[in-house]
Chains A and B, each alone.
Chain A
Amino acid sequence: MRKVWLVIKREYITRVKTKGFVFGTVAVPVFSIGVILFSIFMATRQTDHTLKIAIVDDVGGLAPSIVQNLASKKLANGKPEFAVEKTLEQPQPAAGIRDDLRAQVNSGGLDGYLVIPKDAATAEFHTKNAGDFMLYEPLSSAINNALIAGRLSDRGIHVDNIAAVVKGVDLKVVKVTKEGEAEDKGQTFMVGFVLAFLLYMTLIMYGVLTMRSVLEEKTTRIVEVLISALRPFQLLLGKIVGVAAVGFTQYLIWMTSAALLATYGSAMASAVRPGSSFPQIHVPGALLAYTAVYFVLGYFLYASLFAAVGAAASNEQDAQQLQWPVTLPLVFSFIMFQGVLRDPNSTMSVVLSEIPFFSPILMILRLAAETPPWWQIALSIVLLALTMLGVVYFSARIYRVGVLMYGKRPSVVELFRWLRYS
């Protein structure tokens, strides 16, 4: 066991020190958080001061109502969002007035001016900062409310609080589970997709890493010295566990940064710009636990296969050719993502999520969508675990023979013959 531990330690330390790992693990989340915060900052930078605007009302009679509606819009710091400096009803000459307003916007006297044309079909807001989409909603709702109130009053209906009248409903989708009901804003799809995709990525990534590590020891001939010190199976075990530890480190750092983002995301967002918030995503703990179980079982299954590929090959080209039958079930799982997400309880979804080579990824998709019957989960875990043990056993035999065989890429028949060598 001490020797296995030495191999694990060496494997782990060498891998964690590589630039690729440091970049992939630390730089990527830091960079993405930076990008998110920066875009929040950019999108909200206008909103801490009151915008001075003018209203040109070619319809007539709308302006006071718009002013009244805008008055209710407040900034996060309590100041009014808009200050209407002046209102102009059906101004003459129209062109001259507009030139004057444009000059005021350019000189900074006004932040913008609103034009409601005679037919009131399209209103225009003229401003220097046309990219600030945070302005659109309050302005358009103020104009619409004023227009609707005007039209109602034309038909003899007088309304005090038009906003209360035109308020519609929001449609919430509620996910029904055994434990109860919970609101779902497309999270099921997102969480399931992200977790399954993460599994797909990491199974391939760490599988290939294990393969390369085995191949490196074979091509540099270190393996002969190593197996004169410990058993091939111990060496294989050490490598697989070492690479898995690297994977867990990466997961841990990613999940910690995701948790930090969930906890402090809103705080960070308001530090960047008061009043802005951060989308909250809730991932159930049970789902994370299942992800860990399927990752470990799936990883041992695939990593030992990839290790056997690395041992059977004598160079990178051979490894790439031998690798595709191992990669195929993973890619197939990825292709089936959409089908399983759309109908997680169809016969196809259930069958696929029980087949060991697909279950690590596809069962997670089903678990995220809705909890399958317990026996289906148990059966898939048992099948996966048994297959994994069998595959590890046979991979270890191929590994043991392969690491000492140099030359031509072995055929499938030869690989089966290797299994019988003592």
Chain B
Amino acid sequence: MDAIAIEGITKRYSSLTAVDQLSLRVRQGAIFGLLGPNGAGKTTTLRMIMNILIPDEGSIRVLDQPVSDRTQDLIGYLPEERGLYPRMQVRKLVVFFGALKGLSEAEADRRAREWLTRFELADWMEKKLIDLSKGMQQKVQFICAVIHRPPLVILDEPFAGLDPVNAITVKDIMLELRGQGSTIILSTHRMEQVEMMCDSICLINKGRNVLDGDLRAIKQSYGKNTLRIEFSGDDGFLRDSGIENVNRFGAVVEAKLRPGADPQEILKAAVQAGARISRFELLEPPLNDIFIEKVGHA
């Protein structure tokens, strides 16, 4: 069964087509990356999945049911633009959102205490939201999204504003939810997070699905065409005719090979030019490059 099955949805605003004949399937139990440049139609797509917007054409099924008021309770949503009632008590706020998503108030209260304790917010439960730091508010909002342990969790930039310790807590909970059978949609611009966490992805550009499928398979389809090199000394060898373009990160350089170029030849040229090589690795292309290739010059 698919967690989400989208068939040819289109959403138009007066002059703009935000989503254009988009079809997409998300396997149940996956961590699914929804990628795309700003304004690609990601938020509109997510809103249609959550029944906030209704597509002009096409159909959406969530967990094998057509999208409706009832499927809303199956979804937990963390929007990119965060916001909570500033003058409400933390615990009461979490209970309110839990109850809105179908929990009884007693159960919501029990879980609110449990989650807040887990996020080290136990001492802040009876405080007002405005008394919390921005990072703490992020954690509260994350709790509001997952308190009802939904079978489908939609997280838009879940790590934004979190310190490394809290980021690990959030990541662990995402994996825990998946372990319990939940499906997670991760929408982010941070490609390294997608590479580390996602099983499959969909890349949207201008409202269309330009690339989707299993992340490993996608990368394999590009083949090992990227060199990651760490070196000191002369960098003239990077102008080799076998290298299509170079991406410099300071200590590390990533070079994309032209089709048919031989990495051995490039290594030989580098050594001959007097560069001291400490790392020379042949890789599949990073997702970042695939993203840029697909949408960069479109």
Instruction: Name A's B-contacting residues (CB within 8 A).
Output: 3, 6-7, 10, 14, 216, 219-222, 224-231, 404, 417, 422
Contacts of A221 in B (CB 8 A): 79, 81-83
Q: A6-B100, A417-B14 are known contacts. Are A14 and B88 too (CB-CB below 8 A)? A: yes
Q: A221-B82, A225-B144 are known contacts. Are A231 and B69 too (CB-CB below 8 A)? A: yes
**Nearest chain B CB to A350's CB is how many angstroms away?**
44
Instruction: Name B's A-contacting residues (CB within 8 A).
Output: 14, 47, 50-54, 56, 69, 72-73, 75, 77, 79, 81-88, 96-97, 99-101, 144-145
Instruction: With CB as the reference atom, state the residue of chain A lying closest to B101.
Output: A229
Instruction: With CB as the reference atom, state the residue of chain A lying closest to B73.
Output: A229
**Nearest chain B CB to A179's CB is how many angstroms away?**
50
Selected contact of B72 from candidates A229, A417, A422, CB within 8 Å:
A229
Q: 9 smallest A-B Cβ distances: which pairs?
A: A221-B83, A220-B83, A221-B81, A229-B100, A228-B50, A228-B77, A222-B83, A224-B79, A227-B52
Could you write out 24 A-B pairs with CB less than 8 Å apart?
A6-B96, A6-B99, A10-B96, A14-B88, A216-B85, A220-B83, A220-B86, A221-B79, A221-B83, A222-B83, A222-B84, A222-B85, A224-B77, A224-B79, A225-B77, A225-B83, A225-B97, A228-B72, A228-B75, A229-B100, A229-B101, A230-B69, A404-B52, A422-B56
Contacts of A224 in B (CB 8 A): 52, 77, 79, 81, 83
Contacts of B145 in A (CB 8 A): 225
Instruction: With CB as the reference atom, state the residue of chain A lying closest to B99.
Output: A6
Contacts of A3 in B (CB 8 A): 100
A228 and B52 contacting across the interface, CB-CB below 8 Å: yes
Q: Which of B47, B73, B83, B87 has the most CB of A within 10 A?
A: B83
- Expressed in whole angstroms, the Cα–Cα distance for A224 and B14 within the complex equals 21
Contacts of A216 in B (CB 8 A): 85
Instruction: With CB as the reference atom, state the residue of chain A lying closest to B148.
Output: A229
A226 and B83 contacting across the interface, CB-CB below 8 Å: no
- Expressed in whole angstroms, the Cα–Cα distance for A14 and B96 within the complex equals 12
**Nearest chain B CB to A233's CB is how many angstroms away?**
11
Q: A6-B96, A6-B99 are known contacts. Are A230 and B83 too (CB-CB below 8 A)? A: no
B100 and A226 contacting across the interface, CB-CB below 8 Å: yes
- Expressed in whole angstroms, the Cα–Cα distance for A231 and B72 within the complex equals 10
**Nearest chain A CB to B148's CB is how many angstroms away?**
10
B contacts with A: majority SS: loop
Instruction: With CB as the reference atom, state the residue of chain A lying closest to B154.
Output: A228
A14 and B14 contacting across the interface, CB-CB below 8 Å: no
- Expressed in whole angstroms, the Cα–Cα distance for A14 and B84 within the complex equals 14
B52 and A230 contacting across the interface, CB-CB below 8 Å: no
Contacts of A219 in B (CB 8 A): 83
**Nearest chain B CB to A417's CB is how many angstroms away?**
6
**Nearest chain B CB to A413's CB is how many angstroms away?**
11
Contacts of A422 in B (CB 8 A): 54, 56
- Expressed in whole angstroms, the Cα–Cα distance for A10 and B14 within the complex equals 36
- Expressed in whole angstroms, the Cα–Cα distance for A231 and B67 within the complex equals 13
Q: A222-B83, A228-B52, A404-B52 are in contact. List 5 more A-B contacts (CB 8 A).
A: A6-B96, A6-B99, A14-B85, A219-B83, A220-B85
Instruction: With CB as the reference atom, state the residue of chain A lying closest to B53.
Output: A404
B97 and A14 contacting across the interface, CB-CB below 8 Å: no
**Nearest chain A CB to B129's CB is how many angstroms away?**
10
**Nearest chain B CB to A316's CB is how many angstroms away?**
15
Contacts of A230 in B (CB 8 A): 69, 72, 100
- Expressed in whole angstroms, the Cα–Cα distance for A219 and B79 within the complex equals 14
- Expressed in whole angstroms, the Cα–Cα distance for A321 and B72 within the complex equals 35
Contacts of A228 in B (CB 8 A): 50-52, 72, 75, 77
- Expressed in whole angstroms, the Cα–Cα distance for A122 and B51 within the complex equals 87
**Nearest chain A CB to B173's CB is how many angstroms away?**
18
**Nearest chain A CB to B110's CB is how many angstroms away?**
17
A220 and B84 contacting across the interface, CB-CB below 8 Å: yes
A225 and B72 contacting across the interface, CB-CB below 8 Å: no
B79 and A225 contacting across the interface, CB-CB below 8 Å: yes
Contacts of A227 in B (CB 8 A): 52
Contacts of B81 in A (CB 8 A): 221, 224
- Expressed in whole angstroms, the Cα–Cα distance for A386 and B86 within the complex equals 37
- Expressed in whole angstroms, the Cα–Cα distance for A216 and B84 within the complex equals 10
B97 and A229 contacting across the interface, CB-CB below 8 Å: yes
**Nearest chain A CB to B9's CB is how many angstroms away?**
13
Contacts of A417 in B (CB 8 A): 14
**Nearest chain A CB to B228's CB is how many angstroms away?**
40
- Expressed in whole angstroms, the Cα–Cα distance for A334 and B18 within the complex equals 47
Instruction: With CB as the reference atom, state the residue of chain B lying closest to A220.
Output: B83
**Nearest chain B CB to A412's CB is how many angstroms away?**
15
**Nearest chain B CB to A18's CB is how many angstroms away?**
9
Contacts of B100 in A (CB 8 A): 3, 6-7, 226, 229-230
**Nearest chain B CB to A399's CB is how many angstroms away?**
13
- Expressed in whole angstroms, the Cα–Cα distance for A229 and B51 within the complex equals 9
Q: Which of A216, A224, A229, A404 has the most CB of B within 10 A?
A: A229
**Nearest chain B CB to A14's CB is how many angstroms away?**
7
- Expressed in whole angstroms, the Cα–Cα distance for A404 and B96 within the complex equals 21
Q: Which of A14, A219, A228 has the most CB of B within 10 A?
A: A228
**Nearest chain B CB to A296's CB is how many angstroms away?**
26
**Nearest chain B CB to A235's CB is how many angstroms away?**
10
- Expressed in whole angstroms, the Cα–Cα distance for A225 and B101 within the complex equals 10
**Nearest chain B CB to A262's CB is how many angstroms away?**
37
Instruction: With CB as the reference atom, state the residue of chain B lying closest to A223.
Output: B83
Contacts of B84 in A (CB 8 A): 220, 222
- Expressed in whole angstroms, the Cα–Cα distance for A184 and B101 within the complex equals 58
Q: Which of A221, A222, A231 has the most CB of B within 10 A?
A: A222
**Nearest chain A CB to B70's CB is how many angstroms away?**
12
- Expressed in whole angstroms, the Cα–Cα distance for A6 and B100 within the complex equals 7
- Expressed in whole angstroms, the Cα–Cα distance for A224 and B50 within the complex equals 10
- Expressed in whole angstroms, the Cα–Cα distance for A225 and B94 within the complex equals 12
- Expressed in whole angstroms, the Cα–Cα distance for A115 and B232 within the complex equals 119
**Nearest chain A CB to B87's CB is how many angstroms away?**
7
Contacts of B50 in A (CB 8 A): 228
- Expressed in whole angstroms, the Cα–Cα distance for A6 and B14 within the complex equals 35
- Expressed in whole angstroms, the Cα–Cα distance for A139 and B241 within the complex equals 121
Instruction: With CB as the reference atom, state the residue of chain A lying closest to B52.
Output: A227
Contacts of B73 in A (CB 8 A): 229
Contacts of A226 in B (CB 8 A): 100
- Expressed in whole angstroms, the Cα–Cα distance for A3 and B100 within the complex equals 6
